[in-house]
Amino acid sequence: MTPLGRRDFLTQLSLTATAVSVPTYGFSWGGKTDEFVEADTTYGRVRGGRTDGVSVFKGIPYGGRVSGDRRFRRPAPLEPWTGVRDTLQVGPPAIQAPRRNEPAPAEDCLFLNVWTPAADNRKRPVMFYSHGGGFVIGSGASASQDGSNLARNFDVVVVETNHRLGLLGFLYLDELAGSDYAGSGNMGMLDITAGLKWVHNNIAQFGGDPANVMIWGESGGGAKTSCLYAMPEAAPYFNKASIESGPGVRMIPKDVAAETTAMLLKELAIAPKDWRKLLDVPAADLLAMQNKLPFVPPFQEKNKNQGTMRRNYGGFGPVVDGVVLPHHPFDPTAPDLSRNKPLLVGWNEDEFTFFAWERRDTEFSKLDFVGLQKKLEPDYGADAGKIVDTYRRANPNASAPALFVAISSITMMGLGSVDIAEKKTKQGGAPAYLYNFGYKSEKTIPGTDYAMGTPHAMDISFKFNNELPPRDGSAPKESFFGGNRPERFTASRHFAELWTTFARTGMPAAKDVPAWPAYTLKTRPTMRIDAQCEVIDNRFSQELALWRSLGKV
C-alpha cells in the first residue's frame, strides 16, 4: 500500500468514525432474572443474574476514576470493596450524546459486562468485543451485541467494555504535559487494554480461559482491534483477532494529533503553558468542542479537506506515539509482535447503504452511468472513467446505483481489509482468513426502492447469533436491518459458529459450511457468508487490479 497523504489518512479515519449512529435496537437484553449468581474478582465479590441458562454480570468496574485530576491519564487504582457488589445494571457509557435506554454518559465509565454459560471452573474461549461507533460513541451494552446467545448456543464467554472515547479518550498531551500524561493520546486504547488485563486476572472465575482470548470488533471496534493487534501492552492478553468492517491500517500521526490539540486550546482561549485548565472544563463543554472542531475554517482551508473532516469529529482517535502504539497497525507491514496470532478480516458487501440510510441520501439511487462518472470525479479525477469502465466490465448486469454502492463499499472497508489480509499473509506465521458478509436484506432505503442488501453494521446481530426465531414459537419480528426472511436465521447461525469456532481453535469452521482455507497470495480465497456460504477464489479480481494500479491497495 502506498503511503497515505494527510488528506487520504483523514479520509480513512473519517470513514472509520462515520458509523456513529448504529441503532441500538432498543435496550432489551437480559430479560427477567431467574436467579442470582455470584463470582469472585480480585477486587471483591460480584452478584449477577441468571436467565435461561446464561449468567450475566453487568457493570463490573475494571478501572478506577478517570475524572478530575485523572482526566487524560491512566485511571486511579480501583478500590476493593467488601461484601457482595450487585452487577445487575450496566454502567454509564463514555461521554457522548445520550444513548437510548442506557444510563447517562459519564467520565467515570470503566465498566464491563460478562455473559457466560456458568461461573464455574471450566475453561471456555473468551470473546472480548470492542464496540463500534468510530472512536467517538458507543458502549458495551447495545442490544444487538447482547452476548447471551453466543454463550448459550456455543459455550463461550463474552466480554464487552465501556472505555473513554473522543476528546477525553484520545487528546494528545504528551508534548505539553510531561510524564504523568504519557500515552494521553491513547487513553481509550489503554482502557481497553486494562479490560484485557482484568480478563486475564479474573475470567477463570466466570468460566473462561485466560489463555484463550479472542479480540474482535466491528467498524470502530475493528479499528480498535487493529490497534490492539499492534500494541505491546496488549499483546500478552490475547492470542487471536477478528477485524470486521473497520480495517485500521493507519492511525493518527503525532504531528496531526499535536495540531488538533493546539486547535482545541486556541478555541478554548487556553495558552499552551496553561494546558492544565483543560482539567476544569466541564465534560459537556469538551463534548461540544469536540463536535465543533471539524468546522474550524483555518484547519479546513489548510488541509483542503472540508468534505472528509465534516464527519471526523475533530480527528480524535489512537495516536502513533511511538510507545503505546509504536507504529501504524498495518503500515508498512503487519505487526511482528502478533506474527503468531491468527486473524479474521473482512467487510459487508453493501457497506454504503447504511450511510445512505443514515444520511437520508436518495440521490445515488437515481444515477445513470454518466452521472456515476461525474459523481466519482471529485474524488478520482481523470481516473473516474477508468473506474466506471472496469466496474461495468466486471459487473455487466449491474445498474449505475449498484456500481456506486460497490465502489463506495470496497473503498470504505474492502481495500483496507484486503491490504491487511495480504500483509498478514506476506509476514508468515499464523494465517489470515478473508471474508465478505453477503446475506441480502429485502428492506429498502427510505424514499427509494433500492434494497439495503448487506449494509454496514448489519453483521453485528448476525455474528452474535441474535437473528433467531422466537423460542416460544411465536411469529418472528422483523430485524432492524436484516428484514424478515427466515433464511437470515441460517446465515446468523453460520456466522456465529464460524466465529466461535475460531475463538476456540484459531480456525474458522461450521456445520454445513465449506472448509475455509487460509488466505494465500496465489488464490486469494474469500469466504462469502450467507445462508449458503461459499469460498470464492480471486474474488473482485478485476476491481482489485484496478485499485492496485491506482495505488489504493
Catalytic residues: 219
Angle, helices 369-380 vs 384-394, to 10°: value is: 130
Q: Quote the cell numbers at residue 206.
A: 466466570
The span from the CA of 494 to the CA of 467, in Å, is 11
- Residues β-bridged to residue 347: 436
Buried b (16+ CB within 10 A) or exposed e, 4-17: beeeebbbbbbbbb
- Of the candidates 286, 287, 265, which has an alpha carbon nearest to the alpha carbon of residue 275? 265
Contact 104, 92 (CB under 8 A): yes
With a CB cutoff of 8 Å and minimum separation 6, the contacts of 241 are: 214, 215, 216, 225, 228, 229, 338, 341, 342, 343, 344
Beta strands 240-244; 208-218: pairing state? parallel
The span from the CA of 351 to the CA of 366, in Å, is 18
> What is the 3-class SS of 63-121, one letter each residue?
CCCCCHHHCCCCCCCCCCCCCEEECECCCCCCCCCCCCCCCCCCCCCCEEEEEECCCCC
Distances (CA, A) of 106 to 92, 111, 201, 320: 6, 11, 26, 27
The span from the CA of 384 to the CA of 345, in Å, is 28
Handedness of CA 22, 25, 27, 31 (dihedral sign): negative
Contact 166, 79 (CB under 8 A): no
Q: What is the CB neighbour count within 10 angstroms for residue 485?
A: 16
Chain-centre distance for alpha carbon 170 = 16
The span from the CA of 16 to the CA of 3, in Å, is 18
2 by Cβ neighbours in 10 Å (0-12 / 13-18 / 19+) ranks as exposed
With a CB cutoff of 8 Å and minimum separation 6, the contacts of 46 are: 38, 39, 40, 57, 60, 84, 85, 86, 87
Q: Quote the cell numbers at residue 324.
A: 503505546
- Residues β-bridged to residue 241: 215, 343
The span from the CA of 408 to the CA of 429, in Å, is 32
Cis peptide before 332 (omega within 30 of 0): yes
Phi-psi region of 489 (alpha: psi -120 to 50; beta: other; left: phi over 0): alpha
The span from the CA of 167 to the CA of 287, in Å, is 7
